[in-house]
Structure 1
Amino acid sequence: MANPTTYEITIQNESGSSHAYCLFAETPQVSNSSSVYQNIWMAAPSIVSRTDGSSQMRFTINIQYYAICGTSDQPLGSNVAIATSDYEKIQLGTEDQQGTTLNFTTIGGANFVEPLPTPTGPNGGFTIQADRSWSEPDSNNTFIGLGAQDMHGNVVPVATVPAFPGITYNMFPVVKFYVSYGTFVEGQILDVEELGPQLEVDFTEAAYDAVTFIHNNQDEYQQVAPSEARKVKLQSLAARKAAFLGESEAPAVGKVRGQNHTLNGLMKEDRLAKELQRTLTKMVRSANCVA
């Protein structure tokens, strides 16, 4: 499978309880840092449980990554919600092209210096070079990290790293994601040990870039085959249409309500057209005879 720019994870809530699902990413590999925090990437509103497949949450994951930076009122740690002060779109290094490199400073606030320097990022990663514009201990809790777009198109922290003066960091994102549920906000640092059951979705070797899972009443996630997922989606749409129209039963897949009525209408129009044509022909013949 070619590397797509987006992935989709759909959760069908059939657990028997309402849940607010959230998405976060695998911790990226970061050089020269012993502390890398995972942040909530997407936090969805709560959805009810239904057994007809109509209660779904779809996470659309845009894997255009960003370098992010900022400061925090609190030291980085579990449940601390942080926001970015500055961000830059980055390109990961490949065998043919080096990845984005950024110079980070705290002069004028945490930010990336422009213009960007010549790319030197390693294969599969990008580079952030911190200057010495601040010192330790750091009461501003300065951080750098990996960012991405949330459900609303805002760039939010996906992984954060405490920044130290004069250090160069190489970051390597991983295309592996997790879904869980709970009350979170985007950018919040999480402790995976405090979460409930987690669904791991690894797209690095997946045959598809869109997957569907049922969250069942055993608090487990069961993957749905792509063909079955499409069938459930069609049934769900048919059920919602029937409910909207006030019908007691949704039409079977492949059968369109009103089909016979439409066919009869076309046949009637065809008969009228033929009768009109015959009438006009008679009128023309009569006119020719008179002439």
Structure 2
Amino acid sequence: MAKYTIRIFNQSLANKAYVAFMQEPVVTSNGGVTPVFTNAWACFENVTNGSWDSVVYTDSAYACWSQPAEALTPSTVLDSGGVMPVNTDTKDTVSFTNTGVTGFSGVVSPGTAQNGSFSIVSSTDFTPQNNFVFGLARDNGGIIPAPVATFNALPNEIYNITPVVKFYVADGLYVPGQVIDYSAVSNNIAAIDFTGLPYNTATVTQAANGAFSVTYS
């Protein structure tokens, strides 16, 4: 299992907070278009000027679910729920149930998802008013994988989720799992993409003018 490091180096001349998040996965369903929300994945609360912080993670992927108090909106925080490890190479399929113990009832591997994807199958034992959400979670170096993208779940659906393994870093104070409007977090963000590169560490530097640069090693 590959390990990667994203390092944040603050050269902005001010103390800063930073957030790392992922590009939204492609989500399709038998019910039509599914709006997808971005979640804060890794957060760095206080990186003083001239210092750095980092997150070390694996390339593992997880199906996730949660039940916030209301439907997803910017600033909603997903602080409870469950995850199930999935493998997009084997097109894994997980099933969600609200009967008995709420959560994923199992994983079928190999499954029936599209190539490079996993799928979540929902049953008919809940309604939209239950406010369940599904999505993709990733390892962020902590004990519990953090959601990186989520969407409001509907019953009797098959959701196909295709991760896009591209990360971004911006300045801003967030908590892991918080829904963010990534287009509004900063005027300038850093893009990180290890695809096709022989490296496993990305160093993101913010300069005194606020601009970000990325180097790989």
Instruction: Give the TM-score, by structure 1 length.
Output: 0.68
Per-residue CA deviations over 1:39-74 (Å, capped at 9, x if unaligned) read: 001112211112xxxx11212232201111121102
Change (3 A) 1:177 1:224: closer
Q: Which residue, 1, 18, 21 being the options, matches 1:21?
A: 18
Superposition map of 1:244-255 within 5 A: none
Unaligned runs of 5+ in 1: 227-291
In structure 1, what is the equivalent of residue 62 of structure 2? 66
**C-alpha deviation, 1:75, in angstroms:** 1.2
Q: Is the 8 A contact 1:83 1:156 kept in 2?
A: no
Per-residue CA deviations over 1:111-136 (Å, capped at 9, x if unaligned) read: 1113x33522222111111111113x
Q: Quick one: distance in 1 between partners of 2:49 and 2:208?
A: 10
Q: Is the 8 A contact 2:201 2:216 kept in 1?
A: no
Q: Quick one: distance in 2 between partners of 1:144 and 1:22?
A: 22
Q: Which residue, 109, 119, 126 being the options, matches 1:127?
A: 119
Moved over 3 A (4+): 223-226
Per-residue CA deviations over 1:137-171 (Å, capped at 9, x if unaligned) read: x2321111111223322122111011111110111
Q: Which residue, 4, 7, 14 being the options, matches 1:7?
A: 4
Larger strand share, 1 or 2: 2
Residues 1:92 and 2:84 aligned together: no
Q: Quick one: distance in 2 between partners of 1:48 and 1:5?
A: 30
In structure 2, what is the equivalent of residue 82 of structure 1? 78
Q: 1:203 aligns to what SS in structure 2?
A: coil
Q: 2:113 aligns to what SS in structure 1?
A: coil
Q: 1:89 aligns to what SS in structure 2?
A: strand
Residues 1:37 and 2:27 aligned together: no
Q: Is the 8 A contact 1:36 1:159 kept in 2?
A: yes
Unaligned runs of 5+ in 2: none
Residues 1:202 and 2:193 aligned together: yes
In structure 1, what is the equivalent of residue 97 of structure 2? 105
Change (3 A) 1:150 1:209: closer
Larger RCO of the pair (alpha carbons < 8 Å, separation 6+): 2
In structure 2, what is the equivalent of residue 49 of structure 1? 49
In structure 1, what is the equivalent of residue 170 of structure 2? 180
**C-alpha deviation, 1:9, in angstroms:** 1.7
Per-residue CA deviations over 1:54-110 (Å, capped at 9, x if unaligned) read: x112122322011111211021011110134221111113xxxx3211111122354
Alpha-carbon RMSD: 1.8
Question: Which structure has the bigger radius of gyration?
Answer: 1
Q: In the alignment, residue 131 of structure 1 is paired with which amino acid?
A: S
Q: 2:213 aligns to what SS in structure 1?
A: strand
The number of aligned residues is: 212
Per-residue CA deviations over 1:192-248 (Å, capped at 9, x if unaligned) read: 12211211112223342212232100101123464xxxxxxxxxxxxxxxxxxxxxx
Q: Is the 8 A contact 2:190 2:214 kept in 1?
A: no
Q: Quick one: distance in 2 between partners of 1:130 and 1:90?
A: 16
Q: Quick one: distance in 1 between partners of 2:94 and 2:215?
A: 42
Q: Quick one: distance in 2 between partners of 1:79 and 1:27?
A: 17
Q: 2:179 aligns to what SS in structure 1?
A: coil
Change (3 A) 1:225 1:7: closer
Superposition map of 1:101-180 within 5 A: 101-108=93-100, 110-114=102-106, 116-117=107-108, 119-135=111-127, 138-180=128-170
Once the two structures are aligned, what percentage of the paired residues are identical? 26
Q: 1:78 aligns to what SS in structure 2?
A: coil
Q: In the alignment, residue 125 of structure 1 is paired with which amino acid?
A: S
Q: Quick one: distance in 2 between partners of 1:213 and 1:44?
A: 13
Q: Is the 8 A contact 2:190 2:213 kept in 1?
A: no
Q: 2:84 aligns to what SS in structure 1?
A: strand
